[in-house]
Amino acid sequence: METKTEKIEKTTDLTYLMELSDGNKTFVKEMINLFLSENPEEIRAFEKGIAEKNYKGIKTVAHKLRSTIPFIGLDKVIEKEVAEIEALASEMGDIKEIESRFLKIKSACEKAYIELNPVSSVIS
Amino acid sequence: MLTDRVIPDEIKAKINILVVEDNLLGRKMIGFLLKKWGFRFDACANGKLALENLKLNKYDLILMDIQMPEMDGHETSKYIRDKLKLGLPIIAMTSNATEEERKRCLISGMVDYIAKPIVEEELYNLTVNYLFTTVVENPENQYQ
């Protein structure tokens, strides 16, 4: 009998890290752990920047995030939103526009935490 | 990794590179690659720290992030050229890989730039090109 399996869309993709490190699992784990410890801080800084309408702060965090997300493949999901926020913050654009994009980023990051935690479940 | 530039290990081990990158993951990744390729390196998180390193140590090349707190890549490169009078190659690493950004990097004193996310082969070839240009241009000198 044929069984149907539900395809779960993953937010993260470790191909870049695996290729870059020639499959070095210790390095990949270290990078994932760094992401898991650094990213929540970036999200909090984002929220603070939006609450205070601190465009310079928002731009800085967006730029930082733009460098971080490719390591776990999140760029394929939220790169557009991050780049748009960086541009909007540069021109001191509508904070609501920034916030709506941020919510998608936050949601993707939270999904990534679940997928990558515990790291041992991803890299054995 | 595809490259036609194979450098003997004993030569690579004498090379010292300074990595200036505020993003912890980025810094870790570049360090991993440089170690894998056999280069020595120091890493720091902003331009001010880079200048301190440059006053204490001799480097053959700098890999420089652009947007950093305290002192950004442009300001740091200008300082290295104008005040420290150092001529070592500085390669920019930037997420804004536009022609305008490339021009800004050159004006600031950097020799070239690489777009993020970093592709290993590109970074290796760029690094090796700037480190060993003299050897390649004068192949007869290699054996003198």
Task: Name every chain A residue with its beta carbon within 8 A of the beta carbon of B36.
Answer: 22
Q: Is residue A124 part of a domain?
A: no
Q: Is residue A22 part of a domain?
A: yes
Task: Name every chain A residue with its beta carbon within 8 A of the beta carbon of B25.
Answer: 31, 34-35, 38, 67-68, 71
Of B26, B33, B36, the CB nearest to A67: B26
Residue contacts between A and B (CB atoms, under 8 Å): 42
CA-based nearest residue to A74, from A106, A99, A97: A106
pLDDT at position B68 over 70: yes
Is A87 in a helix, a strand, or coil?
A: helix
Task: Name every chain B residue with its beta carbon within 8 A of the beta carbon of A24.
Answer: 32
What's residue A77's pLDDT? 94
| Interval A22-46 mean pLDDT | 95
What's residue A47's pLDDT? 96
Q: Is A81 on the interface with B (CB under 8 A)?
A: no
d(CA B95, nearest CA chain A) in Å: 7
Residue A37 domain boundaries: 15-119
d(CA B142, nearest CA chain A) in Å: 31
Phi, then psi, of A21 in degrees rounded to 5: -100, 10
Q: Is residue A6 part of a domain?
A: no
Is residue B108 a contact partner of residue B66, using CB atoms and an 8 Å limit?
Answer: no
- Ranges B68-72, B91-95, B124-128, B135-139: which has the least confidence: B135-139
- pLDDT tens-digit readout, A52-82: 999 999 999 999 999 999 999 999 999 999 9
Q: Is residue A1 part of a domain?
A: no
pLDDT at position B8 over 60: yes
What's residue A44's pLDDT? 96
This model of the complex carries an ipTM of 0.85
| Interval A99-119 mean pLDDT | 94
Provide the CATH number for the domain around residue A84. Answer: 1.20.120
The number of domains in chain A is 1
Share of chain A above pLDDT 70, in %: 93
What's residue A124's pLDDT? 73
Is B5 in a helix, a strand, or coil?
A: coil
